[in-house]
């Protein structure tokens, strides 16, 4: 059985880490370089860096900042935001990323997923899906783009399947309904995606207490990784604490907890 991963996320706006509720009401959560180093030292399995306004502002990822973050890491590092071509991805990977995350650009041009997979390998391509409940789709979940500001009316479950067929190596699934609420991951949405694709799925949105990690890993169709932000940014939980708790509840994690 593969170990479950614990992944902090740095949502970046104007050079700072921010966190909000349902993709709005953003507030400052700290310096990205300092937080990244702290999470690396604390035993994070991976780190995700998302330039959340890049697509909406029609610009590229804040590359200089991403490079500074990467310099302090020795764990897998994913960068997303404003990546719309093979050239953009190459620049991000050259700046220290191990994986690229695409969302808006992939929805607008699904062949981008195939292009990235063919050039860099499937293991480098993360398709991020920002989904919310909607009566307009068959599954009841719709895909949103441009930092959650535009409802595509594309069925989120169908899109996850297409992303897999086109060469995605992983799905980063964020529930917009749960984001920042701290009342738990969206189990229904996560299970629907996990039962549809054979790819690793990272669950995101809603983590507020340690039990929520157990819930997303113990449900019928569990996620392969759990992403969290505010509970780590504001010191409510520590990564080592989460891993020890999961181990005590028979969840396999990467358990090098020395120094925690």
Contact 132, 142 (CB under 8 A): yes
> What's the CA gap between 128 and 234, in Å, rounded?
24
Catalytic positions: 11, 130
Q: Any idea what the Cα angle at residue 81 is, between residues 236 and 72, rounded to 5°?
A: 55
Nearest to 190 by CA among 182, 178, 180, 181: 178
> Hey, what are 181's tokens?
């609420």
* DSSP string computed for 73-108: --S-EEEESS--SHHHHHHHHHTT-SEEEESHHHHH
Give the gyration radius of the chain's Cα atoms.
17
**Distance of CA 228 to CAs 1, 52, 119, 208, 231, Å?**
22, 15, 30, 9, 7
The CB-side HSE value for 1 (13 A sphere, CA atoms) comes to 12
Give the bridge partners for 77, in sequence order: 47
What are the backbone dihedrals phi and psi of residue 16, each rounded to the nearest 5 degrees, phi first? -120, 155
Tokens 């995605």: give the residue.
Answer: 168
């Amino acid at each position: 059985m593969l170990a479950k991963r614990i992944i902090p996320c740095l949502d970046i706006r104007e050079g700072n880490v921010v966190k909000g509720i349902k993709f709005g009401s953003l507030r400052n959560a700290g310096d990205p370089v300092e937080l990244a180093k702290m999470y690396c030292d604390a035993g994070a399995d991976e780190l995700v860096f998302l330039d959340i306004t890049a697509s909406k502002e029609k610009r590229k990822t804040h590359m200089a900042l991403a490079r500074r973050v990467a310099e302090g890491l020795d764990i897998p590092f994913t960068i997303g935001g404003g990546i719309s071509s093979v050239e953009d991805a190459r620049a991000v990977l050259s700046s220290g990323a191990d994986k690229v995350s695409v969302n808006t650009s992939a929805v607008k041009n699904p062949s981008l997923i195939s292009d990235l997979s063919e050039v860099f390998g499937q293991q480098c391509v993360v398709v991020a899906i920002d989904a919310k409940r909607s009566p307009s789709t068959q599954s009841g979940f719709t895909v949103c783009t441009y930092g959650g500001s535009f409802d595509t009316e594309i069925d989120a479950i169908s899109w996850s399947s297409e992303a897999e067929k086109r060469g995605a190596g992983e799905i980063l699934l964020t529930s917009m309904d749960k984001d920042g609420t701290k009342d738990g991951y969206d189990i229904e949405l996560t299970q629907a995606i996990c039962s549809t694709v054979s790819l690793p799925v990272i669950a995101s949105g809603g983590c507020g207490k340690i039990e929520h990690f157990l819930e997303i890993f113990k449900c019928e169709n569990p996620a392969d990784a759990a992403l969290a932000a505010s509970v780590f940014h504001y010191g409510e939980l520590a990564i080592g604490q989460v891993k020890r708790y999961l181990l005590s509840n028979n969840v396999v994690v990467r358990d090098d907890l020395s120094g925690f």
